[in-house]
């Protein structure tokens, strides 16, 4: 059971994909399932509280996969981690109701939906029926709107906004209300402003600087700045050299109210989070 406001919680990313933007795809390993279990164990040893397991890449330019293929990748990993009795919350990164239901049935705890329950009409019903906590992410990205930066990789082009932050808040509040209307308990909702998804560099920075306004909506807040392209563009660095930029984003995000940080580099970001928590007076 997580106690919001006590300290920052760390979510470690486990990509069961062949094409993650961050270069940490498990399906490229000789024994993907064993590697996933070892990575899960290491993340917990390093201080992670939550493991976020995803099998469909959301990187710019990626292609959707079927629910069947997604389950073929996810189910063995979830079963293996559960059999090892690894002490962590297991979150599944999916927007498909069939995938969510099957994973929850075998022991997953949370659903992390990058489309905020908007892509699959049955997803909200599955979450409500199972009473699983759910992460609702803000996402106006379009698969057809991709831009390339030499040496920095691809990113989603920003959507059009008349007043970005005001519309972001309205959209997030609407996602939460739609979930509640579907029967999901308000205490099971976590909001994610969707850093890197259909937003400019300035808009991504604005989210982190003004996270307290998202917190004011009344829900726990997760941010996922880890290795994202906005860091690469600010620092002019490729994905493998973005740890310091991620650390700065994590620290400032925590100062402004982030409850959960979703990251690739768990050991380093746990240390950043613990030090930042101490500086702002959260319980150690």
Average pLDDT over residues 179-190: 98
Residue 141 has pLDDT above 90, yes or no: no
> Of 228, 233, 271, 274, which residue is the catalytic one?
228
Question: pLDDT value at position 160?
Answer: 85
**Among 13-22, 60-69, 80-89, 199-208, the least confident range:** 13-22
Assess if residue 247 is contained within a domain.
Answer: yes
The total number of structural domains that make up the chain: 1
Assess if residue 3 is contained within a domain.
Answer: no
Assess if residue 4 is contained within a domain.
Answer: no
Contact predicate 158/199, CB 8 Å? yes
Output the DSSP codes for 36-50. Answer: HHHHHHHHHHHT-SE
Q: Considering only CA atoms, which of 82, 117, 269, 106 is closest in space to residue 192?
A: 117
Instruction: Reply yes or no on whether 262 is catalytic.
Output: yes
Assess if residue 2 is contained within a domain.
Answer: no
Average pLDDT over residues 248-253: 98
Instruction: Work out the number of other CB atoms within 10 angstroms of the CB of residue 22.
Output: 18
Assess if residue 54 is contained within a domain.
Answer: yes
Question: pLDDT value at position 145?
Answer: 45
Average pLDDT over residues 265-280: 98
Average pLDDT over residues 139-168: 70
- Domain interval for residue 159: 9-280
Q: What is the pTM of this model?
A: 0.91
Q: How far apart are the first and last CA of the chain?
A: 16
Give the Å distances, CA to CA, from 121 to 64, 116, 132, 142, 277: 17, 11, 17, 19, 39
> Of 7, 227, 242, 262, which residue is the catalytic one?
262
Assess if residue 1 is contained within a domain.
Answer: no
On average, the pLDDT of the chain sits at 91
pLDDT (tens digit per residue) in 65-122:
899 999 999 999 999 999 998 889 999 999 999 999 999 999 999 999 999 999 999 9
What is the domain-level CATH number for residue 180? 3.20.20.20
Question: pLDDT value at position 144?
Answer: 45
Question: pLDDT value at position 237?
Answer: 96
Instruction: Reply yes or no on whether 199 is catalytic.
Output: no
Instruction: Work out the number of other CB atoms within 10 angstroms of the CB of residue 94.
Output: 28
């Amino acid at each position: 059971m997580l106690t919001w406001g006590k300290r920052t919680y760390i979510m470690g990313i486990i990509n069961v994909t062949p094409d993650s933007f961050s270069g940490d795809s498990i399906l490229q390993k000789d024994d993907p399932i064993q590697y996933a279990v070892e990575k899960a164990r290491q993340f917990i040893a390093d201080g992670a509280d939550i493991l976020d397991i995803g099998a469909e890449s959301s990187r710019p330019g990626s292609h959707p996969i079927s629910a069947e293929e997604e389950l073929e990748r996810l189910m063995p990993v979830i079963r293996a981690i559960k059999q090892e009795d690894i002490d962590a919350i297991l979150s599944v990164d999916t927007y498909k109701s069939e995938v969510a239901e099957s994973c929850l049935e075998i022991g997953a705890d949370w659903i992390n939906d990058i489309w905020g329950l908007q892509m699959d009409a049955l997803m909200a019903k599955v979450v409500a029926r199972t009473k699983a906590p759910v992460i609702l992410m803000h996402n106006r990205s379009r698969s057809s709107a991709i831009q390339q930066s030499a040496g920095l990789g691809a990113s989603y082009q920003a959507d059009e906004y008349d007043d970005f932050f005001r519309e972001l808040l309205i959209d997030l509040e609407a996602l939460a209300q739609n979930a509640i209307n579907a029967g999901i308990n308000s205490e099971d909702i976590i909001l994610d402003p969707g850093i890197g998804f259909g937003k400019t560099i300035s808009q991504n920075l604005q989210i982190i600087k003004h996270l307290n306004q998202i917190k004011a909506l009344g829900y726990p807040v997760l941010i996922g700045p880890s290795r994202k392209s906005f860091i690469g563009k600010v620092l002019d660095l490729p994905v493998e050299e973005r740890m310091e930029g991620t650390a700065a984003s994590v620290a400032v995000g925590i100062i402004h109210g982030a409850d959960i940080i979703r990251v690739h580099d768990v050991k380093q970001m746990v240390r950043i989070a613990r030090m930042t928590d101490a500086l702002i007076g959260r319980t150690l």
